[in-house]
Structures are given as structure tokens and as C-alpha cells.
């Protein structure tokens, strides 16, 4: 079962993905391919069962190993008989290719070599995740439509723009101050929070319910860290929150109110869905 303790600060989520992309880019030399390999690694992570994930003590290291293995699988040349690297007993182009990789790894620290390359070469098969085969994560239906229909039935008249902005500012301030009780007071008892990472970052995958759990998960996500800012901002025609990391939008959060308290929170963390927020404005605007 996924626990609220699995929630991570926004800065750590993005640093982890950046680290994995850099590992893949270092090995493959292509930023586009590195992004794809990183996405594959996260798919394998989310393909694990809850029990399997709970037994992994350092997910970032596990993901690094997977990225290294996936990158090596793309780099492994075929031998003269069409065999993949490591399958031929005689010395040939395959072994020469691996030697190039290993010589490059000699420039790294022992820990980096183990994480980036050597585990992928000498450990599990490059095409599999540690402890299991390649998995795929099922596509799940977006619960937004159904949930918001139920919310509208509860709330009746929507909050006024002034009330919406006031509550959004109060939520932002409570998060900035790390004020757990103050944040809980702004939430309904049965508030629900959804964290849409799109399988691209290691965000919570299940809705979080209850003011205690939602307050804790939101405070963790938006905890004060260097290079992280949170501001109120118009989102879908209402005041919500926009979190930036290194001046790039990293999360867009909408707040749905019922009787002046927040009943639903929607946090979009999926980098693909945030591209338009980070696109440069056309010249002259």
C-alpha cells in the first residue's frame, strides 16, 4: 500500500528526474533518447507492485540502475552472427564496445561506476529491471470528470473570485510557513488530493483523502527548499497555485471549494502537461 510518507518535496522529485536524464544523456549522448530512457525507467517503477516498491530502500538508486541497464541495451552492438553483447564466447566487436564503456567508467568514482554502468553490465540483464522483468504500467482513466461532477452537486453556487483568491492565498501561506494545523483548517474533513505525475516523476499515484493526510502530503510537496517558489496564479479561470523550481513551472495546483473550504486539490506534476506553462511567450507580448 502507498503511504503518505512516500510523498516527496517538489525539488527532490525534479532533481531525481534530472539526475536520471543526465545519466542517460552521459551514456547515450542524446537528450531526446535520454528522456525516453528515463520515461521507460519510471514505467518499470510504476509497473512494480506496492509490495515490491516498499522493499526498495533507495528508489533513486534503483531507478539509476534501471536507466543504466536500459541505456546499455541501446548501446550494445550486435556481433557478426547477430548475437547481442555478452552472448559470444570469443572476443569481437561486442567486447570491444563494452571495453569502451568500462574505460569511460574509470573516470568516475566507484559509487558512480556501480550506479551508472557496472551494475548494468555485470548484474541483471540490461533489458530487465532489478528483481523482475520489463513491465508496463496500465493506463488509468482520469478521475477528474467524475469527481468534479460530484463536487458541483455538493457545492451548489461556486465560490466568488474574491473568496477563491483569499483561500488560495491562505493555502499558499500555510504551506510557506509549514503550518500543518493552519492548512487543515482550510480543508474539508473529507478533502481529496490528486497528484498527476503522469508516470514521469515519482509522485503519489493514488488519491489522498482526509484533512490530516492531505495537509501532510501538500506540505511535503511544497516544503520550502532552495530554488523553489510558490505563488497564487490564475488557473483555469480561478485562483490556484503555481510552484516553480529553478524558475520553471514544476506544479500547477487547482483548489476546488465547498462552503469556503477546499474540498479537492488537483496537482499537475506531469512535465508533458506543463510544457505550455514553460513555453516562451511570443515576441511582442
- Under the banding of pLDDT at 50, 70 and 90, the label for residue 112 is very low
Evaluate if residue 102 carries a pLDDT over 70. Answer: no
The pLDDT value recorded for residue 75 is 86
The pLDDT value recorded for residue 279 is 82
The pLDDT value recorded for residue 216 is 96
The model's pLDDT over 234-250, given as tens digits with 9 standing for 90+, comes to: 998 999 999 999 989 99
Q: What is the 3-state secondary structure (H, E, C) of the chain?
A: CCCHHHCCCHHHHHHHHHHHHHHHHHHHCCHHHHHHHHHHHHHHHHHCCHHHHHCCCCHHHHHHHHHHHHHHHHHCCCCCCCCCCCCCCCCCHHHHHHHHHHHHHCCCCHHHHHHHHHHHHHCCCCCCECCECCCCCCCCCCCHHHHHHHHHHHHCCCCCHHHHHHHHHHHHHHHHHCCHHHHHCCEEEEEEEEEECCCCCCCCCCCEECHHHHHHHHHHHCCCCCCEEEEEEEECCEEEEEEEECCEEEEEEEEEEECCEEEEEEEECCCCCCHHHHCCCCCCC
Evaluate if residue 165 carries a pLDDT over 60. Answer: yes
Evaluate if residue 5 carries a pLDDT over 90. Answer: no
The pLDDT value recorded for residue 56 is 94
Evaluate if residue 145 carries a pLDDT over 80. Answer: no
Higher pLDDT, 195 or 150: 195
Evaluate if residue 140 carries a pLDDT over 90. Answer: no
The pLDDT value recorded for residue 126 is 34
The pLDDT value recorded for residue 51 is 92
Evaluate if residue 107 carries a pLDDT over 60. Answer: no
Q: What percent of the chain has pLDDT over 70?
A: 68
- Under the banding of pLDDT at 50, 70 and 90, the label for residue 222 is very high
The pLDDT value recorded for residue 42 is 96
The pLDDT value recorded for residue 105 is 52
- Under the banding of pLDDT at 50, 70 and 90, the label for residue 264 is very high
Higher pLDDT, 120 or 214: 214
Ranges 1-5, 24-28, 96-100, 129-133: which has the least confidence: 129-133
| Mean pLDDT of the 10-23 span | 95
Domains and CATH numbers, the chain: 4-122 (no CATH), 144-277 (3.10.450.50)
Amino acid at each position: 500500500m502507498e503511504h503518505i510518507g512516500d510523498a516527496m518535496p517538489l525539488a527532490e522529485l525534479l532533481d531525481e528526474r534530472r539526475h536520471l536524464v543526465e545519466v542517460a544523456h552521459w551514456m547515450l549522448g542524446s537528450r531526446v533518447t535520454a528522456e525516453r530512457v528515463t520515461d521507460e525507467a519510471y514505467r518499470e517503477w510504476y509497473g512494480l507492485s506496492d509490495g515490491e516498491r516498499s522493499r526498495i530502500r533507495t528508489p533513486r538508486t534503483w531507478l539509476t540502475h534501471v536507466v543504466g541497464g536500459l541505456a546499455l541495451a541501446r548501446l550494445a552492438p550486435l556481433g557478426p552472427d547477430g548475437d547481442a553483447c555478452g552472448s559470444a564466447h570469443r572476443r569481437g566487436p561486442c567486447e570491444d564496445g563494452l571495453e569502451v564503456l568500462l574505460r569511460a567508467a574509470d573516470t568516475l568514482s566507484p559509487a558512480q561506476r556501480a550506479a551508472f554502468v557496472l551494475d548494468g553490465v555485470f548484474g541483471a540483464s540490461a533489458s530487465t529491471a532489478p528483481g523482475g522483468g520489463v513491465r508496463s504500467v496500465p493506463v488509468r482513466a482520469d478521475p477528474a470528470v467524475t469527481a468534479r461532477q460530484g463536487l458541483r452537486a455538493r457545492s451548489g453556487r461556486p465560490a466568488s473570485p474574491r473568496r477563491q483568491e483569499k483561500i488560495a492565498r491562505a493555502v499558499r501561506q500555510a504551506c510557506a510557513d509549514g503550518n500543518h494545523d493552519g492548512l487543515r483548517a482550510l480543508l474539508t474533513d473529507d478533502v481529496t488530493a490528486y497528484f498527476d505525475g503522469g508516470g514521469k516523476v515519482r509522485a503519489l499515484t493514488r488519491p489522498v483523502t482526509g484533512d490530516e493526510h492531505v495537509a501532510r502530503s501538500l506540505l511535503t510537496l511544497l516544503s520550502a527548499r532552495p530554488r523553489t517558489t510558490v505563488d497564487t496564479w490564475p488557473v483555469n479561470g480561478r485562483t490556484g497555485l503555481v510552484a516553480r523550481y529553478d524558475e520553471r513551472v514544476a506544479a500547477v495546483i487547482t483548489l476546488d471549494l465547498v462552503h469556503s473550504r477546499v474540498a479537492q486539490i488537483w496537482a499537475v506534476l506531469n512535465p508533458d502537461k506543463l510544457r505550455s506553462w514553460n513555453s516562451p511567450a511570443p515576441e511582442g507580448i
